[in-house]
Amino acid sequence: MLPFLRGRVASFLPAFAGWAHVLRTQHNAWIHAAISLAVFALGFWLELGRRDWVLILLTVAQVWLAEFFNTAVEIVVDLASPEQHDLAKLAKDVGAGAVVVAATVAVIVGLLVFGPPLWARLASSL
């Protein structure tokens, strides 16, 4: 049983290495991290309900997943095509576009989820 558990724990190490690589090398990931922390803090302050938390968690995960996949696409494209190529650029642009879509949807979901309780909290303090 112990070797099985060690194997399962060890299987997560490459995933954490990938996550660390993204945080270390992708400047936009730093922005995602700061905004994620701010969103979670705001959610706790507003005492969001369970369904709102589900929406926020799924939306934050969507942005992170888009950033991870975009980074993976960039790495693979650089490996396959170290020289400048129109298709390599296009692949990178499409990956970056996916991050923009995810982030835009996150802003919209954030406004829909946080807007009413934030407005109510601010209005009650006036």
Report H helices in 26-85. 27-45, 50-80
CA distances for 33 relative to 23, 28, 36, 42, angstroms: 8, 9, 5, 14
pLDDT of residue 4: 86
- pTM of the model as a whole: 0.89
Based on the residue annotation, tell me whether 83 is a catalytic residue of this protein. Answer: no
Q: Which long-range contacts (CB under 8 A, 24 or more apart) does 64-67 make?
A: 64/32, 64/36, 65/102, 66/98, 66/99, 66/101, 66/102, 66/103, 67/22, 67/26, 67/28, 67/29, 67/32, 67/99, 67/102
For the beta carbon of residue 109, count every other beta carbon within 10 angstroms. 17
The full set of domain ranges for the chain reads: 27-124
> Residue 46: is it exposed, middle or buried by C-beta count within 10 angstroms (0-12/13-18/19+)?
middle
The CATH number for 27-124, chosen from 2.60.40.1120, 3.40.50.800, 1.10.287.3610, 3.40.50.620, is 1.10.287.3610
Give the pLDDT confidence of 59-114 residue by residue, as tens digits: 999 999 999 999 999 999 999 999 999 999 999 999 999 999 999 999 999 999 99
